[in-house]
Amino acid sequence: MPLIRISHKSSICSIVLMLASYLVKAQQDAQYTQYMYNMPSINPSYSGSKESLSITALYRSQWAGLEGAPKTQTLSLHSPIGYRGVGLGFGILNEQIGPTSETYFDVDFSYTIFTSREGRLSFGLKGSAHLLDIRYSKLNQDIDNPNGPDPLLQQDIENRFSPNIGAGVYYYNEKFYAGVSVPRILETTHFESSNIATAKEQMNLYLTTGYVFDLNRDLKFKPALLTKMVRGAPLQIDLSANFMLNEKFILGAAYRWSAAVSGMFGFLVDDGFMLGLAYDRETTDLGGTSFNAGSFEVLLRYDFKKGNGRQIRSPRFF
C-alpha cells in the first residue's frame, strides 16, 4: 500500500490499522491466477502426481504501480520417490506487502492409491516453517510527523518464527481432477498489541476442480474452478477456461468473482519446459485508478524425464 505523508498521529495509526487489516483480520494465503500449474503451493497431495521430478517457479506483482503492493515469489519441486505411491515435495514462498515480509519453507508428503485403471486418489500432509518481518521503522521514516516518531512504530518484528501444518486430498485421472486442501491449519498468533492489532493466521480452505475436453486431435479445452474460503474475508471464486493447441500453445481467460478479469498464455518450449504468463485487471474501484496498472504473473515449470529416460510424450493439461 502507498506510504502517504501526513501530519497527524491518528492518521499514522490509521495506516497501521489498514496494513493490519490486510495481514491480520482477513489473513489470506498468497493469490495466484495460474494456480492450476502451481498446485503444490495450495495442496500437498499433488506432490508426486506428475510421475517425474517437477520444478516450478512463479513471480507475481499485484497492483503494479501501487507503492507497497503485494509481490510474491514461489519455488517448489516435487517427485515420486522409491516407494510405490509415495511423493515428496519442497517449497519456498516469499511475499512482501509494504513494510512486511513473510517467508514459508514447506515440506510435502503424499500417498497415492489406485482407485481404477486410470484413477488416482492422493492424501497429503504439509509441514511449514514461517518467518515474519514487519519494519515499523520504515513507516516512521516515510511519514512526516511533526511530533516526532510514533511510539507505536518503534519496535520492528524480525524473523518471528512459527510452525504450521496442512493437509489435502486430490483425485485425478487423465481428464479430470478435484482437490480439497487447507495448507495452513494452525491459527497461529504472530504478535499482539492492544494499541495496533492482533496478527493471527487464518485457515484457508481450497476447493479445486477441472476437466479436459478433446475438441479434436489438435485442440483441448479445460474449464477449471478454484474456490477459497477464509473466515473474515469474502468468498473467492476463480473461473477459468484454457485452450491447448498442438500440445504446445495455451491460451485462456479467467474471472475472479467481483474482483478481476485475467488473460493467460502458455507455451511448452519442449516436452518438459513450460512458460506461463498472466495479466489481471481489477473490476473493483481500485482497478479504475491511475496508479494501478494491473497484476502480472510469470511461471516457469520443468518436468524432468521419467525414470526410464523418456520424456512425457503427451503433456498433461494440469
Range with the largest mean pLDDT of 62-71, 184-193, 301-310: 62-71
CA distance 12 to 137: 12
Please give the full DSSP string across the chain, using - where no structure is assigned.
--------HHHHHHHHHHHHIIIIIT--PPP-S-GGG-GGGT-GGGTTTTSS-EEEEEEEE-STTSTT--EEEEEEEEEE-SSTTEEEEEEEEEEEETTEEEEEEEEEEEEEEESSSS-EEEEEEEEEEEEEEE-HHHHHHHS--TT-S-GGG---EEEEEEEEEEEEEEEE-SSEEEEEEES--S--EEEE-TTS-EEE---EEEEEEEE-EE-SSSEEEEEEEEEEEETTS--EEEEEEEEEETTTEEEEEEEETTTEEEEEEEEE-SSSEEEEEEEEEE-SGGGGSTT---EEEEEEEEEPPPTTSPPPSS----
316 domain-assigned = no
pLDDT at 19: 47
pLDDT at 258: 86
* pLDDT (average), residues 18-46: 76
Task: Output phi, psi for 234, to 5 deg.
Answer: -65, 150
Report the range of poorest mean pLDDT among 30-39, 213-222, 262-271, 300-309: 300-309
For residue 30, pLDDT over 90 is answered with no
Grid cell locating 62 = 499485484
315 domain-assigned = no
For residue 3, pLDDT over 80 is answered with no
pLDDT in tens, 118-161: 999 999 999 999 999 888 776 666 555 556 555 555 677 788 89
195 domain-assigned = yes
Cα-based distances in Å from 174 to 37, 63, 270:
15, 36, 20
70 domain-assigned = yes
Range with the largest mean pLDDT of 64-68, 281-285, 300-304: 300-304
81 domain-assigned = yes
pLDDT in tens, 155-213: 777 888 999 999 999 999 999 999 999 999 998 776 555 445 456 678 999 999 999 99
Residue bearing the bigger pLDDT, 6 or 257 = 257
For residue 252, pLDDT over 80 is answered with yes
pLDDT at 146: 59
60 domain-assigned = yes
pLDDT at 283: 87
Confidence of residue 307 (pLDDT cuts 50, 70, 90): low
For residue 308, pLDDT over 80 is answered with no
309 domain-assigned = no
Share of the chain above pLDDT 90, in %: 56
**Domain enclosing residue 256, as ranges:** 9-303
- Going by C-alpha positions, the residue among 86, 178, 100, 173 that lies closest to residue 135 is 100
pTM, two decimals, is 0.84
Range with the largest mean pLDDT of 63-72, 183-192, 259-268: 259-268
pLDDT at 45: 97
Domain count for the chain, please give it. Answer: 1
pLDDT at 241: 97
* pLDDT (average), residues 78-95: 92
Average pLDDT, the chain: 83
pLDDT at 199: 60
Q: What is the CATH number of the domain that holds 33?
A: 2.40.160.40
2 domain-assigned = no
Residue bearing the bigger pLDDT, 313 or 130 = 130
